Amino acid sequence: MSQKLDRRKKYTRRVLKESLISLLSEKSISSITVKELCEKADINRSTFYTHYSDHYDLLEQIEEEIAQDLRAYLSSYQFTIEEESKLMTQKLLEYIIENKHTFQTLLNQNVDPTFEKRMMNIAQQFLMNNWMPINKGDESYNRYLSTFIVSGAINVIKDWINQDMNQSPKEMSEMISQFTNNGLSIMGENR
């Protein structure tokens, strides 16, 4: 009996998550109601409230699951070796492709920018904790450098998602690595 309940619980949560993502692709989180969400998921409101306090709680849970997945991805790689860095980026991009609709939705204008900020903070913390800092004694320098790198990479990834992922994850990881490692010197070479 408990397996049946667990399956029902998983099904309910999955359907609610998919329904919220679908609604977010059409309108902002503040415009969505729990009633509308439940109708889309074909689940009654009392069932919804046994799992989540409101639709913002559901969104936060979706974001937290993705954040946990990203932390697991990042912690499984060493960031000191350039090839390892490219492979890690490629794996992250493959993860984004597997969850394409979710990322397209959570990184669009209809959603509160907290998801993007949360992803930036995870990546920035990882960089600061695992990357060989250029200025070992200057924490603010390292923070600014990691902010620069991460925000650039996230915006490139957002553009890639908006371009319907027209490059392979491998090609994108090589580009991001090249941009990160060579930055403005690439522009000078192309003049």
The answer to whether the predicted template modeling score (pTM) of the entire model surpasses 0.75 is: yes
Could you give the CA distance from residue 48 to residue 136 in angstroms, rounded to a whole number? 49
- Tens-digit pLDDT profile for residues 49-97: 999 999 999 999 999 999 898 888 777 766 556 667 777 788 888 888 9
Q: What share of the chain is helix, strand, coil (3-state, %, to 5)?
A: 75, 0, 25
- Tens-digit pLDDT profile for residues 87-125: 778 888 888 898 888 888 888 766 677 888 888 888 877
Per-residue 3-state assignment (H helix, E strand, C coil) for 138-167? CHHHHHHHHHHHHHHHHHHHHHHHHCCCCC
Could you give the CA distance from residue 151 to residue 147 in angstroms, rounded to a whole number? 6
Q: Is the pLDDT of residue 190 over 60?
A: no
- The structural domains of the chain, with segments of one domain joined by +, span 2-183
Q: Which CATH architecture has domain 2-183?
A: Orthogonal Bundle (1.10)
> What is the per-residue pLDDT for 115?
84
Could you give the CA distance from residue 51 to residue 45 in angstroms, rounded to a whole number? 10
